[in-house]
Structure 1
Amino acid sequence: MPWSNQGGGGGGKKSGGNGGGPWGQGPWGQGGGGGGGGNQPPDLDEILRRGQDRVKRVMRGGGGGGGSGGGIDGGVPKSFIFLISLLLLAGVAFYGFFYRVNPDEQGIVLRFGQFHRWEGPGLHARWPYPIEEVRLPKVTQQRTIEVGAGGAGRTSTGGPDSGLMLTGDGSIVDVRFVVFWRISPETDAASGQTGVEQFLFNIAQPETTVREVAESAMREVVGQSALQPLLTAGRQKAQEEVQKLMQSILDFYKAGIKIDQVQLREVDPPAQVIAAFRDVAAAGQDRERFIKEAQTYADQIVPRAKGDADRILAGAEGYRDQTVAEATGQAARFLKVYDEYKKAPDVTRGRLFLEMQERVLSGADKIILDQKGGGSGVVPYLPLDQLRKSNTTEGGQP
């Protein structure tokens, strides 16, 4: 065996005066045995049993010798137990008498429930509870509260219908917004309380208060606005109005809370009517498109119509001037003829008759028949125009 006596039996060579290992002791902590057949390794079950016995003696606090093999004494000294108890008492006393204020906190010590003193960052001492109590609000931390989430796929913060609001034009919208707030660093001039004192002593549930004030302020602002501005350019104005209204309400109740910002995350119609809302939005876009197309057509037609109108007016003015000039000339001619008529009525009358005949007959086709020539046999009822054409073809004159 590996752990047997390497020095052999009783008749063999001696090794350190015993049958153990080279240092006179077996590897399992046993003393070297005598000669003979050599030592066998201890049983594993025996080792476990001895360990359990020692643990039991320690738990009972009793002493006792260790059986064969010369084990360690299992008893726990009373001084050790006293030391452990003293350390535990010191830890409890340290926890009860000392506390630590972090850099982002403000320590407020209450003695018998009444404000006693302020404490800054660092390690401080106090009387244990219930004599003194310490509160450590985080005065520089910015906190957020999300309100509203009635739409599909969103988690509700203030209830399933907290975001459903009625607009000024009678529409229902689902509003989700976030409020960023902190403990006010200012001191109230009227009461002399700091923002931390107001935050701790004037309101019982700060987060619930901020959420309810935010929902109330948003409902008021949305109720005074139409739907379309909330969906487009009016969101920034609504955010600012909600922030101002919330701050005024919290200041009225001296809550010691400062509203840093209000952000509108989503403004949508309820899920039940979102399809109809999209149709309305599409109709509005079509309306705008038709208006732009009509305006473009008007921009093309109106200048053309104005040009035609100017041209017609110019033509009318020219015709008017021409007609007036002709009428003026005719009137002047008539007056001159009348002056001559008064001087020689018969001559003037004959001249007018001849001029009239000239104007009438100058534009008419005429056929002159020579009775002495070959025209004596012509019957006046024949188509003279055809006769004229035939005479022209044969070389005759009309």
Structure 2
Amino acid sequence: MSQGSPEKDPALRGPLAGSVRLGFLMLYAMVFLLAVGWVTTNLRQVPPDSRAVVFRFGRVNRVQEAGLLLAWPTPIEQVRLLPASDRQIEYHVQAQQTGFQSDETDMQLEPNDDVIHLQGERDLNNSAYLMTGDGNVVSLNATLFFTIIDPTAYLLVEDHVRPALQRIFLATAVSLTASRKLDDFLVAQPDQTGSAAADAGNPNTLALAARRQALRSDLVAAMNARLNKLRLAGEDLGVGISRVDLVALLPPVAKTAFDAVLTAAQIADQEAAAARTDAAQMTQEADQQRDAVLAAASAAADERIRTAMSQTDPVDALEAQETAANRDTLLTHAYQDQIAIILQHAGEVTAVDMRGGKQLVLPGPMP
């Protein structure tokens, strides 16, 4: 073997050579661990309320539902988690706030002499209010709940989804508000429905509540119809509206007037309730007096009937015993019994024979 072979070279068998070999082995191990970590980068668990969209070289390759996800490491494949199809996403649509106060809709302080309100500026700054079908104005503060129907379409326009939903809501609200009355949005005329206790079974109140509920359903249907038109036109947002929560607001001036009407209606309801209570109490007292009079009259009538029946009992007994043969005898006995009772109460009795020829003059009562 030659003199320069590695086996016989002392420099290659020393501590330095061992350190170099150990360093290379550690380097190989680190590279291997990094390779394993890189390969398993996209090995993950998709939560039950989410789903994963897998991109391969920047294009959507597949959609993975909840469960274990196996994907190539970055940058071959990238994974984006999105809410599941049944998970609702909340988006609050805030009414436009311009900070402008006009005498048509908002409370306004007394302006200075150099302040001039132009009609065009007034209409522009009052754009947050919508006109109803009965000529009133209302501002709608809404919270939208939407779900992701098509993840691919949603990811392509993700940054534009919420602004588009706000524009769709405003356009739908304008057309829908123009076809409804103010009572379809809120209780604006409490004097026409009465008290809350009386409204529980009032058909008109139930109909108004049904119309307010139908308003939200119609708003959801109209917004989904606009989203479907965009989908058919090739501009799919990949979302669908599931629910809309509305809070209708009146202008401050109108709200003050409606509050005054509500206060007056409540006072009237309280006075009417007090009047009904007094009337019910008076009715109860009258009924008690009527019952007492009827009971006394019934008792007196029963007593009279019993007295009359006791007085007619002997006559009824005679009629039951009377025949053609003994009629005179029975009448004579009855006369004798009754005349004996009468004579017992008399102090003096003068008997006159009606068949005699003598005339008798009896003294009458002293004048």
TM-score band by shorter chain is 0.3 to 0.5
| TM-score (norm: length of structure 2) | 0.43
Looking at CA atoms only, which structure, 1 or 2, has the larger radius of gyration?
Answer: 1
The structure, 1 or 2, with the larger RCO (C-alpha pairs under 8 Å, 6+ apart) is 2
